[in-house]
Structure 1
């Protein structure tokens, strides 16, 4: 916000998320400025009851040609810079009167300046032992209000997540304060850190022995169609696996251990393209495999694949088509055949797009069929001079299936079971990383939690002694 010279609000709870967003629209229209709502993890991951208000209808803004404002070519940008600086001064004035910048006076030995969740942490720890300047509008800062508050307290602390955004500006204004000299700029802030930094004492909550905690890292769901792909890919030697942003980010975790690195959304194919050329130039005999989901492919991945096709490399690009936008809430995308309202829409075929970009070698495979998945990877690895694309296609296990899904896929969810008489305790099934699998270390036998299993049969295909079958099968 500071770099771009735009306004910024920082909500501390769900109610302020609503209230500040409404105010942000007003500020945007009044001052002609883009507005950022800065969120932090704890606010995003919290819920609370909110009070709604009646919807305020506003008349539509009629379009008027304003090239001197909207067409940011260099000649116009030079003139607009004066407008931006004038606007910033006006926003400073608004910041001083903004209703979300509030002073709470209690004990004046300690003064706290904080915004967002950091204010909540400070209030939880210090209560009435400190006075507070709670900032909800944090760029531009209300420096006059800050100076007046600083004059009323003996010692001033600026408590904020990670980087000293407010602290640096406050110090530049000549106001003495504590900040990152006592509060760490690493890891997520919490009440314990605030207590240790300001009061120099640790908070002690409920004490639980470490032995009571079971390490439980996030894992691909039982029945996830990505599991078969990562299981087979993880067995490949001399392979660099480039991931992307989605559920498949978990493909690097044990026991699959398939993913090496990731950069940003939609970048995996571009990274793989550059990596492939780099490995060849440096004489390293390794192949590069990249993956991204269907939604990511439509979002930004098409550009990456265009780069691969146009400039040429032997990258193996994999589109994990689970028929939905998996990680962020099961929104429809251009490949599902429905729009965001659930209405029928034009379906853009992934394979047709890939071929239209100029990729000659394309295959679609069911990733839960391990034999087919292995053969498809063998096929792609054998293509040494050109790019290839594999499309793994199977619906997300959590998806509400469409009529097209039901017609196209065999979605039998009969769970699998282990015949303990046949099980030899080799733990091969556990190498799939499925959370439905259990292992009895005393009896040295595997079992499957029936409430979790959806019958994807990956473990059944992995078992070397055919000890796993679908429930009811002989």
Structure 2
């Protein structure tokens, strides 16, 4: 591929760069818009694997980096919340192999429950952050991220956004690394064991690293200066920089690539050369507030442009200080559960039984919409069980007995197991009922595997978690498995369990209607492989 002109999405560009840069392990949890990075990395021949959740993915990635291997960990923006615990302490450690943490933000919430701006994490965790504007920079910044990570022995956050992840632009790859370093363990307790005695000097080292990175960013950082009319200067980052170039091609523009720590003196010099300085950034006013705090006079966007994605038309309005109402976009077709979806009967049952439904993240979240209207809360991955238990503890008994927690199979593995532990440990007086809607895949993000399917990222066979056996071993009093299509059986079972003062788990099992043909294909291929291996063993014997 070297020397070719390739048309790649940002996700694919990161995957290709990871392969070329000698990444030995890619870990993550599927989440739009980041999912395709590991899938493409696997297809290109890299070693990629799905973890139960983002926290585990980052911990595995840290172990790989401690062992001297270049490693990439991928997740969407809300996934970084889950991984934040190891992330903040990882900043204190000294890595051997380069480690890139991809945070794929979703301005406009195309497929997310919030619109958080993960640039805040760079400052909070004190980690360098790179923000590419297109696929070429996604490719180049992945290489650069490893170079920064290994030079300063620090994790690097690569922040993408939905538009960069999924839009395709031309990429010219560089030659692949021919001899990546061989992993090997070297003991370094003060740099990796973060007890207070070692963490205190580690924090001082971290701040020194940031000071050095700042100095490097001022003189050598990945920034692009476009000379133009001095009457208007624009400082921009990420995809917003592309919109700004099209909206005001005559303006002078400084596009910042390493956005934390900022090259404030370089920006200050740029600001002194223009009459009016405007910051164009998606999401929160992170950059403009940093400039103002440094004494650099800069205009930011009006509050109304804090929400949703920017585009060329919106940037033109920002530059014109136009705060008149924006045109309301035409309404699209509302999402709905697929025809034949195994979740439909479950939500019909819960609706007809007038249950109070504590919901979760996944396809089944669509149970909130008509004709089901059978979901009352949805906060984050795994929250359904804890939220349901909270309502059970405080509601009057008549209402408490109507509360049911609904969670998907992949989501249960991600962060529902601890909720089940909470149910066993602190059971409400009326008990509780949890439904795992097991459709055999991570359906919402594109039908990826998880620890409950018995298949790895590449669909080859592996160990499989049994939800019912897990629940029984944890001490749940009633554990049942039912076919999602047997609506009357499910209805009678739920009525019975709601009347008990006991803890209950019901696994409703039916493959996703879209994934079922693929699942049958994978299982048949794996069975044939096992049969071939068995026959070969017989011959050897």
Q: Same fold (TM over 0.5)?
A: yes
Deviation at 1:330, TM superposition (A): 1.9
Instruction: Find the counterpart in structure 1 of residue 139 from structure 2.
Output: 18
Q: 1:86 aligns with which of 204, 208, 220?
A: 208
Give 3-state SS (helix, strand or coil) of 1:245's partner: coil
Q: 1:29 to 1:225 in 2, by over 3 A?
A: same
CA contact (8 A) 2:479 2:506 kept: yes
Deviation at 1:72, TM superposition (A): 0.8
Return the TM-score normalized by structure 2: 0.69
Q: 2:239 aligns with which of 102, 109, 117?
A: 117
Return the TM-score normalized by structure 1: 0.79
Instruction: Find the counterpart in structure 2 of residue 450 from structure 1.
Output: none
Unaligned segments of structure 2, at least 5 residues? 1-121, 525-541
What is the correspondence of 1:38-437 to structure 2 with a 5 Å cutoff? 38-56=159-177, 57-128=179-250, 130-181=251-302, 184-200=305-321, 215-237=332-354, 239-280=355-396, 284-313=399-428, 314-383=431-500, 385-399=501-515, 400-402=518-520
How far, CA to CA, are the matches of 1:200 and 1:386 in structure 2? 60
CA contact (8 A) 2:393 2:400 kept: no
Deviation at 1:257, TM superposition (A): 0.7
Question: Of Structure 1 and Structure 2, which has the larger fraction of its residues in helix?
Answer: 2
Deviation at 1:50, TM superposition (A): 2.6
How far, CA to CA, are the matches of 1:298 and 1:3 in structure 2? 28
Deviation at 1:261, TM superposition (A): 1.1
Give 3-state SS (helix, strand or coil) of 1:189's partner: coil
How far, CA to CA, are the matches of 1:81 and 1:88 in structure 2? 11
CA contact (8 A) 2:301 2:318 kept: no
CA contact (8 A) 1:364 1:390 kept: yes
User: What per-residue deviation string (whole Å, max 9, x for no partner) do you get for residues 112-162 of structure 1?
Assistant: 11101111221121122x111101110000111101110111100011122
User: What per-residue deviation string (whole Å, max 9, x for no partner) do you get for residues 198-254 of structure 1?
Assistant: 124699x9x9x99xx6640111112111111112112232x3211111111111112
Q: 1:321 to 1:96 in 2, by over 3 A?
A: same
Between Structure 1 and Structure 2, whose CA radius of gyration is higher? 1
- Which stretch has the larger CA shift, 174-183 or 247-256? 174-183
CA contact (8 A) 1:111 1:157 kept: yes
Q: 1:81 to 1:202 in 2, by over 3 A?
A: closer
How far, CA to CA, are the matches of 2:382 and 2:209 in structure 1? 36
Deviation at 1:190, TM superposition (A): 2.6
User: What per-residue deviation string (whole Å, max 9, x for no partner) do you get for residues 67-101 of structure 1?
Assistant: 11111111111111211111111010121234521
Deviation at 1:9, TM superposition (A): 0.6
How far, CA to CA, are the matches of 2:370 and 2:169 in structure 1? 36
CA contact (8 A) 2:358 2:404 kept: yes
CA contact (8 A) 2:302 2:323 kept: no
Deviation at 1:376, TM superposition (A): 2.5
How far, CA to CA, are the matches of 2:233 and 2:171 in structure 1? 29
User: What per-residue deviation string (whole Å, max 9, x for no partner) do you get for residues 325-375 of structure 1?
Assistant: 211222222222222232221222121111111112122112223222322
Unaligned segments of structure 1, at least 5 residues? 407-474
Instruction: Find the counterpart in structure 2 of residue 426 from structure 1.
Output: none
Q: 1:404 to 1:148 in 2, by over 3 A?
A: closer
Deviation at 1:188, TM superposition (A): 2.8
How far, CA to CA, are the matches of 2:521 and 2:352 in structure 1? 36
Q: 1:9 to 1:214 in 2, by over 3 A?
A: closer
Q: 1:127 to 1:368 in 2, by over 3 A?
A: farther
RMSD: 2.5
